Each structure stands twice: as C-alpha cells, then as structure tokens.
Amino acid sequence: MSSFSKIIVGTMTWGVWGKNYSTYQMSDLIVEILSMGISTFDHADIYGGYTTEASFGTAFKQSKVERSSVQFVSKCGIQLPGTERPLAVKHYDYSKEHIVKSVELSLQNLNTDYLDVLLLHRPSPLMDPHEIAIAFEQLKIQGKVKSFGVSNFTPTQMDLLRTENLIEWNQIECSLTQSEAMFNGTTNHMMQHQIGAMAWSPLGNYFKDDNPQKIRLKPLMKKMCEIHNASEDQILLAWLLKHPAQIHTVVGTTQASRLKDALDSLKIKLTLQDWFLLLEASLEREVP
C-alpha cells in the first residue's frame, strides 16, 4: 500500500463521460501528473460505457511512462446495458468467467500486463465468495493482479468475502458532507482488519448544491481557508485525510492545477477542534 499515492487520480471523466480528451491530451496529462508526484490512477471497466480504459491505455503507451512508476486500480462486476453491451438489464456478474474475462480485457485496454489492484465494483446479492476466490487465485498465480479489494461494501459484505478471500482495499463514498462510513462501522472495520481505504467523491456535494448543509458550512469554511491559506477543496480533503484509517482520496478532476491543489492539501493540518467544528456544521448537531 505504501507505493500508492495519497491522492489517486480518478479517470471516470477523462473520456466520453466527461472531457473526452484526445490521446495527446491524455498523454500529456499523465506525464504532468507523474511530475507532480502522483502515481496512482483509478479506473473501472464501465467508464465511458466500456471505452475509457482503452483511450487511457493508448495515451499511456504514447506517454512512454514506465509501467513500474505508476499504479493502476480497476473495477469489474457491473454489467451496464449500452452500445458496447446490449443487455436486457443492469446487473452484477461475479462469476469466475466474468471476473477473469473482465481483467483480461482491462489489461488489453490499459496496455499493461497486470493491475496493481482489482476491486469488485459493487456488492451483489448473488456473489459467491468461493467462486470469487477461485477467480482471484487464478489471476494472482498468473501475475495479472497484484492485490484485490472491493468498492462500496459494508462490513458484513466484506466479512462474507473475507471467509475465502484476502481483501486488501475498500473504495467507499466518504467526505465531510457524506460521513456515514465513519459512523456505521465501515471505517472501523477496515482499520480493524487492515483493509486499505480509498474514498471516492472526497469533496462530497459541497460544490454541487447550495443546500442547507453547504449554507451552514460556508462561513466556517471561509474561516478555515483564511487560517490555513487554503482553498475550500483543500480544506475538504484535509478533513478527510486526518482520519486514522489513512484514507487515499480518489480525486475526479481532469485539471492538472486542481490535482496540484489536492496534493498540497496533504500539508494542511487541521486541529482536533477544527475537525469537529466542521463535522458539527455538516451534521447540524453535536457529535452523538
């Protein structure tokens, strides 16, 4: 886990689900991100309707970046109806055949021989820990995946898989405006079992809506920004990074300048009382 950058670059909006960057734009951005000291990239097979991994992989090959200098995280399991897959319904597939096939396709698309981490994208009511273990073991022996984890799993769902699988990561939704994972046992469970934590949407909905929660937070955020000479997004990330679960934040911006700002948030040290002041404003109540 130590080789993973604390700020992880989320690639969901690099392709047709967002900026639709060209190969040259992606290649230049990869090189610039590496020059900052960020080395971990988060993918999923479904991003861009099953197209973004291939776009990134072409750009990565063009960048001439050494594979050993970066880490690739990807996810599988969601079967999403669309042009690439004319399915009758969105569903989850954690059969051995699908997991192995998904990984092999991700490797081909990303122009790599291995994934640093494979995550099961969302829990399925039909997942069989034994069958998943067979797939994981095959991929591990073949050297196609270095480590395994899950995404959006609860403690009991993690425990079900852990009966037969080594689960090393869980990527969860967690932020100042969506802190439930810190209270429902999820982060405690991960710390107890030494499961690495990644947080998607680490800025929460703060910049999306002028809702009552943001209105409560705004004056306090302004004060924190002045104290720490920081931006609002940096304070939001610093709040999350203070958690003892040693959370790695998956930052979804496609702008190099904002990724540099995210990296600088590592230098911000909120006091204990400041951390709880922000939490109280977010929850609109004292800590229970």
What does the alpha-carbon distance between residue 229 and residue 235 come to, in Å, rounded to a whole number? Answer: 10
Residue recorded with tokens 């690439």? 84
What does the alpha-carbon distance between residue 55 and residue 264 come to, in Å, rounded to a whole number? Answer: 29
94 noted as active-site residue: no
Using alpha carbons, list the distances in angstroms from residue 151 to 42, 198, 199, 212: 12, 9, 9, 29
74, 45 in Cβ contact below 8 A? yes
What does the alpha-carbon distance between residue 143 and residue 136 come to, in Å, rounded to a whole number? Answer: 11
What does the alpha-carbon distance between residue 30 and residue 40 come to, in Å, rounded to a whole number? Answer: 10
What does the alpha-carbon distance between residue 237 and residue 265 come to, in Å, rounded to a whole number? Answer: 6
The catalytic position among 47, 50, 94, 206 is: 47
216, 239 in Cβ contact below 8 A? no
> Catalytic positions, please?
47
